[in-house]
A and B are shown apart, each in its own frame.
Chain A
Amino acid sequence: MLKIKKENINTLLEELMKDYQVYAPVKNGSKAAFKVIENPDDIFTGHVKSEYSPKSVFFPQSEVLFEYSKEGVSIPEKKEKPYLLWGVRNCDTKSIRMLDKVFGNARQAPDKDMYKDPYWKQKYDTSIIFNFACNAPLTTCFCNWFGSGPFDESGSDIFVVETKDDLIFKGISEKGKELLKKLSVSEISDKKDEEAVSELKEKAVSMMPEVTDISALYEKLPKLWNEPIWQEISSKCVNCGACAFICPTCHCFDVSDEGKNGKGKRVRLWDSCMFPIFTMEASGHNPRGNSVDRVRQRVMHKFNYFKDNYGTHLCTGCGRCVVVCPVNLDIRDVIKDIINYELNKKVPADV
């Protein structure tokens, strides 16, 4: 493991900024979001986790697919340095790796490039993620339900632990190890540092909530399809898109042409399965016409469908939706309610 003194972080970042476009948490209004930094001092570390997830680095809320005019279509040429993400928590690192399964690959035809997303790949394939351990997880964190934890290194390119005076670096991926070799400001860490790291880890892990066993979730969900539990869960949902837009793994989008007089751009925009128009067809028919259907869809997609297709839950337990939901529809409660739901129990006739 390597380390640098905290006072040298800016020097390191300046060095990295020569070769990379560096994204890090910066102040966005009263909250933190991942944005490209022009100066190491732009970085804002005051919040444990950026309130807006870093998915927007690779999958912005609005992204131009191409420009069109009467002459035809053209893709705006982008010459960018590779992306480097600094200060990412493991829940978000994992989310980005999940999204790559969707955008970077083609599950039904892995060899066909037309099914891979070029806009994602252009940014993602050369990117590198500095995953920072969480010394003080929030009470809304529940990554440990998904087998992860505040000091989970998996998925990182470079794993970073912030100790009292230093940042300790550990290369995880080949890409990460290569980069660490090239950095000029680092020194080798010693046993004392390792002790400090394990001490921090122990403390952080102890701050995590009790683990809820979610192993039954995937198989149980389809059996609940017609159960009244969905009425109960969805009753308070107001069908806004706050949870989906704040979620690091939600990735559904809309495509819209923006322009006039034959000139403009086709853009893709984040969308949410909570919105009634998400599935509305031109005929007026809506396959998911009510809130119950839509809330069920979101839960099914996260904890059943995605696992069917990609082998993992589409949730990393970051807890952002818990914080942001205007009616406190807490996904942790939803998961627990589903797990504890008794199938075949008698339902009063008037429900």
Chain B
Amino acid sequence: MCNGYLPIQMRVDKVLTENPDKTLKTFELSFLKDNDRENFKYMPGQFCEFSITGKGESPFGIASSPTEKDILKFTVNRTGSVTKEIHYLRPGDIVGVRGPLGNWYPVGKFKGGDVVIIGGGFAFTTLRSLLVYMLEHRSDYGKITVIYGARNPDLFIYKEELEAWDKRNDLILHLTIDKAVEGWTKLCGFVPTVTKEVKLDPKSWAVVCGPPVMIKFTLPVLKEIGFNDGMVYTSLERRMKCGIGKCGRCGIGSKYVCIDGPVFSLEELKNIPEAF
């Protein structure tokens, strides 16, 4: 019988520390078994339950793109007991992964349209997956605009890639930090303010991910610009435990974030007071 609670084993290949405070690390994992590798088919926006047996399990959005073959990437912010243990991992360690779980950003619907990606802090993980995926299929999409904000320059993740994306001419990247610091040549200001200033086309698709307060203030800006609720997507975070719609911990209204989400359009969230 198929068992959705059983993790597959994966090996940690690379550990990359994303910020000087070492609170953010990206883990690149590879599959131990061939059939796990073949069966693991995912899309940008999906998540996994990442576990170290004996220490517990936590959900993380997949940061790699399905176009990056044979690996999975997760960026983990150290906050609680499980993430603390994950941060101790070294290359060669074996971990458990369940997934892919949940739904994904509707990249099929996005085809032919302009896409705006708005992210904040370390919640850029599945947005990276989405961006890498769309850049691999660049001709499928119109204009791609990225607004990415962090409190200070240190707190951006994927810094090398950001530099590379910045140089591309088929993508508009707006990086912003909350308060000016010496040496910073990009934008200053909160994400909602930048969103208002950069003149977005309201006919675009939009994907917004970030800390709750960023989402709370960015969504009204998009509405003001004229974005359609059905075309604005966000990915919700809750304490998903089982990931397969049973344990009830991630309920928001009648939806379970783990199976009905984590990706929702604003249209879907409109009547769920608990969503934000």
State if A and B touch, Cβ cutoff 8 Å: yes
Interface: A285 (CB within 8 A): yes
CB contacts under 8 Å to B, within A261-289, are 262-264, 266, 268, 271, 273, 278-283, 285, 287-288
Would B54 and A253 count as touching, CB distance under 8 A?
no
Would B2 and A113 count as touching, CB distance under 8 A?
yes
Give the contacting residue for A305; candidates B1, B239, B241, B253; CB below 8 A. B253
Number of interface residues of B (CB under 8 A): 42
Give the contacting residue for B58; candidates A65, A251, A252, A282; CB below 8 A. A282
Contacts of A279 in B (CB 8 A): 238-239, 249
Would B260 and A75 count as touching, CB distance under 8 A?
no
CB contacts under 8 Å to B, within A236-266, are 251-257, 259-260, 262-264, 266
Give the contacting residue for A281; candidates B55, B239, B246, B247; CB below 8 A. B239
Q: Give the segment of A1-9, A84-92, A100-108, A200-208 that binds chain B.
A: A100-108
Interface: A27 (CB within 8 A): no
Contacts of B4 in A (CB 8 A): 114-118
* Minimal beta-carbon separation of A279 from chain B (angstroms): 6
Would B254 and A309 count as touching, CB distance under 8 A?
yes
* Minimal beta-carbon separation of A188 from chain B (angstroms): 40
Interface: B18 (CB within 8 A): no
Contacts of A121 in B (CB 8 A): 1
Q: Which chain B residue shows the least CB distance to A304? A: B254
Q: Which chain B residue shows the least CB distance to A284? A: B79
Contacts of B80 in A (CB 8 A): 282-283
Would A115 and B259 count as touching, CB distance under 8 A?
yes
Q: Which chain B residue shows the least CB distance to A74? A: B6
Interface string of B225-256 (1 = CB under 8 A from A): 00000000000011101101111110111100
Would A253 and B9 count as touching, CB distance under 8 A?
no
Interface: B139 (CB within 8 A): no
Would A282 and B1 count as touching, CB distance under 8 A?
no
CA distance A266 to B56 in the complex (A): 8
Would B242 and A255 count as touching, CB distance under 8 A?
yes
- Given A72-B9, A114-B3, A264-B54, output 11 extra A-B contacts at Cβ < 8 Å: A68-B53, A113-B1, A225-B273, A252-B248, A253-B248, A254-B241, A255-B242, A279-B249, A281-B237, A282-B81, A282-B83
**Residues of A participating in the B interface, judged by any CB pair closer than 8 Å:** 65-66, 68, 72-73, 75, 102-103, 106-109, 113-119, 121-122, 222, 225-226, 251-257, 259-260, 262-264, 266, 268, 271, 273, 278-283, 285, 287-288, 297, 300-301, 304-306, 308-309
**Residues of B participating in the A interface, judged by any CB pair closer than 8 Å:** 1-7, 9, 51, 53-58, 79-83, 96, 212, 237-239, 241-242, 244-249, 251-254, 259-260, 271, 273-274
